Structure 1
Amino acid sequence: MASAPLRYEGAPARRQAIVERVRAAGFCSIADLAEELAVSDMTVRRDVRRLDELGAVRVVHGGVSLPPDQEFSARERANPGSKDRIGAAAAGLVAPTDTIAVDAGTTAHALVNALPETFTGSVVTHSVPVMQALLNVPGARCVGLGGDLYAPSRAFVGPATVEAAARLRVRWCFLGAAAADDRGCYGVYDLERPTKQALMDIADHIVLLVDGGKFHSSAPVLLAPLHRLHAVVTDAEPPPEVRAALDEHGVRLHLAGAA
């Protein structure tokens, strides 16, 4: 028997719950918040508008996210153990001299932290934290993609970034996402989609890096259908419908930390 939705008495408690949920997930849809809080969509919209006015959250297309100055830091603090395990498993796919593309995002950042000091390949990225992390891998070459700096992801985006990526070729593209299901993977901001797709377009293989919670989250922007992926690295068994879709499309599943 399914458990009853959580109920929060009064707007202050409800709004605090919204902030805590967004801090944990990075993005929440209005429908998901309404279901969790057992209130109407209209009530949630009224709450998030007020939170937006106070600077606690940011109303975006399809839902609500953290303000730009809080978003990356909050995502970086969320599930650090899971991210480290996923990063280590993804790094295991990389040969010492491979050329790889690394997307913006905290899970992809964990991959770079897991690269061994013996890695002497090249890393193509638009992520400022990834560029900084590569300073600790002295043998690696970093190919930074410039453009317009987008604060929520601490990454460069825009036409200049896409054009720079189009001139390159990589073996692996390690992609981050805010959500995934049996149809594909999703992001929060459409502004980031062209850059992510440009990195996928220059790759021989695309690997999605997501923690298990992303299979139970939602986000509005389709980044890639499942059939575009070569592999998924995660820390938990996906829901049955997602596992069936991965098998149907020949997408390899790597469970981080599994024997």
Structure 2
Amino acid sequence: MNDAMPRYDTAAGRRDAILSRLQASGFLSISDLAADLQVSDMTVRRDLRLLERDGLVRVVRGGVSLPVGSQVPAFSGRADAHHDAKVRIGARAAELVGSADAIAIDAGTTPCELAAALPQPFTGSVVTHSVPVLQQMLGRPPTRVVGLGGDLNPESRAFVGPMTVEGVARLRVRLFFLGAAAVDERGIYVSTDLERPTKQALMGIADEVVLMVDHSKVEASAPVLLCPLDAVGTVVTDRQPAAGLAAALAAAGVRVCVAEGVPAPSGASD
């Protein structure tokens, strides 16, 4: 993540950058912040102490999180962030779907855009634990929709927990479209461990996993490692990855599809 941020020459600029990143991910490590801001760990810790004094952050072991009682922005707020990029990614990912495929769609604002962009007519099957995806699918009668129940997580608007995982075990899909909070050369990350078992269960029933992430996820930090890069077959994103991540993806055998410009019509070739 060495090129994730420009260098900030003022303390105020650094602190604004820290707050912006923290609102997007919920947690940042001190080492990643120091590398991204191109300053020392000591400088980052000094900035964090001032932010904590003002009640804007909570310093924890190894990093910083939002204050107690605060949360990562709600689903609607995350959906608005980089919305145009997510629409393009959804349209590009839809090009990978056959008209009669069985697919699974993850919870998250970027995978939700895939549901809106599925090819017409789509007569396959959709498996999902995402309430917004289920709402998207209500207007598509030819499509078979399998909704996974469980405990509703209001933050992600998705069902999670043992009942959700048990429901996944009896299914099989060709593609699973995965969302994530962050990605780097070491792997793919989620914000909370609550999400991890359901995502891993859905990955386990898919012939191929397709990761859908906009460029901000490459610049973000998240605390929970979901899987290594070689667990996915394709990444759909809105910008070419930086050199380090691009090399790691190539080494892991992961194909990169970049959604550029306006959304392409469904069925367009690579």
TM-score, normalised with respect to structure 1: 0.84
Deviation at 1:224, TM superposition (A): 1.5
Find the counterpart in structure 2 of residue 216 from structure 1. Answer: 219
CA distance in 2, matches of 1:107, 1:255: 14
State whether residues 233 and 253 of structure 1, in contact with CA within 8 Å, keep that contact through their aligned partners in structure 2: yes
Cα 1:63–1:124 change in 2 (3 A) is farther
State whether residues 30 and 44 of structure 1, in contact with CA within 8 Å, keep that contact through their aligned partners in structure 2: no
How many residue pairs get aligned? The number is 250
CA distance in 1, matches of 2:90, 2:248: 23
Cα 1:228–1:20 change in 2 (3 A) is closer
The code of the aligned residue for 2:118 comes to L
Q: Does 196-205 or 246-255 show the bigger shift?
A: 246-255
Given candidates 174, 177, 181, the residue that maps to 2:177 is 174
The code of the aligned residue for 1:22 comes to L
Given candidates 237, 241, 252, the residue that maps to 1:238 is 241
Deviation at 1:215, TM superposition (A): 1.6
The code of the aligned residue for 2:221 comes to S
Given candidates 48, 54, 78, the residue that maps to 1:44 is 48
Find the counterpart in structure 1 of residue 266 from structure 2. Answer: none
Is 1:89 aligned to 2:92, yes or no? yes
Find the counterpart in structure 2 of residue 189 from structure 1. Answer: 192
The code of the aligned residue for 2:207 comes to D
CA distance in 2, matches of 1:45, 1:136: 50
The code of the aligned residue for 2:51 comes to D
Cα 1:87–1:245 change in 2 (3 A) is same
Given candidates 81, 95, 114, the residue that maps to 2:117 is 114
The one of the two structures with greater contact order (alpha-carbon pairs below 8 A, sep at least 6) is 2
CA offsets per residue over residues 24-61 of structure 1, 9 Å max, x none?
x23340425566496443652673582369xxxx9899
State whether residues 129 and 149 of structure 2, in contact with CA within 8 Å, keep that contact through their aligned partners in structure 1: yes
Cα 1:134–1:63 change in 2 (3 A) is farther
Is 1:250 aligned to 2:253, yes or no? yes
State whether residues 48 and 64 of structure 1, in contact with CA within 8 Å, keep that contact through their aligned partners in structure 2: no
Cα 1:123–1:59 change in 2 (3 A) is farther
The code of the aligned residue for 1:148 comes to D
RMSD: 2.9
**Other structure's SS at 1:185 match:** strand
State whether residues 117 and 137 of structure 1, in contact with CA within 8 Å, keep that contact through their aligned partners in structure 2: no
CA distance in 2, matches of 1:145, 1:62: 35
Say which structure is richer in helix.
1
Cα 1:90–1:51 change in 2 (3 A) is same
**Other structure's SS at 2:65 match:** strand
Given candidates 200, 204, 209, the residue that maps to 1:201 is 204
Runs of 4+ aligned structure 1 residues displaced above 6 Å come to 13-16, 58-61
**Other structure's SS at 2:87 match:** helix
Find the counterpart in structure 1 of residue 65 from structure 2. Answer: 64
Q: Does 172-181 or 65-74 show the bigger shift?
A: 65-74
Deviation at 1:214, TM superposition (A): 1.6
CA distance in 1, matches of 2:176, 2:11: 42
Cα 1:247–1:18 change in 2 (3 A) is closer
**Other structure's SS at 1:199 match:** helix
State whether residues 166 and 202 of structure 1, in contact with CA within 8 Å, keep that contact through their aligned partners in structure 2: yes
